[in-house]
Amino acid sequence: MQDNLNLEKLPNFPISGPSAWYSNQMEDNKNWIYYLSKSEIQEIKQAILDTKDLQIIKLNASNFILPRLKIKLKKILNDLISGRGFVLLRGLPIKDLSMEDVARAYWGIGQYIGSARSQNANGDLLGHVIDLSKSVDDPNVRIYQTSARQNFHCDSTDIVGLLCLQKAMSGGASSILSSVTLFNEILKNKPEYLEELSSPFYIDRRGETPKGKKPWYKLPVFCWYDNQLTTHFTRPYIESAQRFNDVPKLTNKQICALNFFQELCERKDIQLNMDFEPGDIQLLNNYQILHDRKEFKDWPSGKDKRHLLRLWLCTEESRKLHPIYLNRQDSIKIGNRGGILVAGTKMNVNFEIT
């Protein structure tokens, strides 16, 4: 396991640029919302027809052909990697499409951003974010399988995509924030906490342990490498790692630093809230954006549950990662990293809930 001896010191100055933003700036200028045009929608529908003889898992940017939309997707990818770190793409006509065709379209669009990565021990490349009535108190349950609030966190991949199929009856708003802004605020208000936040924490794998690895891994919240700030934050997983006998107890300084980090996450001027509409695709850069989902209530019938499709994507355009990230995954090579792999994992694409 990589130790923290070679971790670089965090900068002692605020980080500027488009990655450092506040919610009012994004609410005043919503150029982070992209809309699918009629011609782009027609292009998607044609690509669906042209690839009917191919399995979804076989689709890529070479055979799911989107000559107009690919120009917009290239700009979106640049926004994700070199800009504010998030976009919302609106207008996928899911009501006109079968569930399989929705999955085909979403997967095909995603291939222009990056290659899909496994999201769990089952090897699911296309994830279903839906309440399965599981207990949030079970340390092996992932919170997306419940209706509870998720709290701000990062996923184990370069880019996360969420396609809204069905809204909840109430609640369930998506909240995002800039981890660069969090860093700047901590530097300004509580710089003494940065030492703790730039040192590794023990983090629970929640039962999804790769072969030869411990059921936990060590990563800092903030990591400065190659002149970029990379963030990894999952407070519930840090806390549930305390159940392991070989994991040291959190110190008071660590707890205070984590508490202040989370206090900042709750500031209204820092978090940006958005309500998804069916057909919306949200894309986030996991290294600079934290995301949260508010608690929600589904419709009484149980038929129209809140339902999102998720993609974890690895892109050739992403940043370098510090070798300490090998604690979490087997590769940090750009274009070939991220996701969850355990012994015997077989990759699959299920467009129906199984």
Per-residue pLDDT of the chain (354 residues; tens, 9 = 90+): 666 558 999 999 999 999 999 999 999 999 999 999 999 999 999 999 999 999 999 999 999 999 999 999 999 999 999 999 999 999 999 999 999 999 999 999 999 999 999 999 999 999 998 866 544 455 655 555 556 657 899 999 999 999 999 887 655 689 999 999 999 999 999 999 999 999 999 999 999 999 889 999 999 999 999 999 999 999 999 999 999 999 999 999 999 999 999 999 999 999 999 999 999 999 999 999 999 987 757 667 766 787 899 999 999 999 999 999 999 999 999 999 999 989 888 999 998 775
DSSP per-residue letters across 238-290: HHHGGGSTTSPPPPHHHHHHHHHHHHHHT-TTT-EEE---TT-EEEEETTTEE
Cα distances (Å, whole numbers) of residue 340 to 41, 117, 253, 337: 32, 8, 31, 10
61 CB contacts (<8 Å, ≥6 apart)? 70, 111, 112
Is residue 306 within 8 Å of residue 131, measured between CB atoms? yes
> pTM of the entire structure?
0.93
Q: Which domains does the chain carry? A: 27-177+270-337 (3.60.130.10)
**Beta-bridge partner residues of 115:** 314
Tell which residue, 76, 102, 60, 69, has the closest CA to residue 283: 76
Amino acid at 292: D
Contact 151, 237 (CB under 8 A): no
Give buried/exposed letters for 57-91 (b at 16+ CB in 10 A, else e): eebebeebebeebbebbeebbebbbebbbbbbbeb
- Main-chain dihedrals φ then ψ at residue 318, nearest 5 degrees: -75, 180
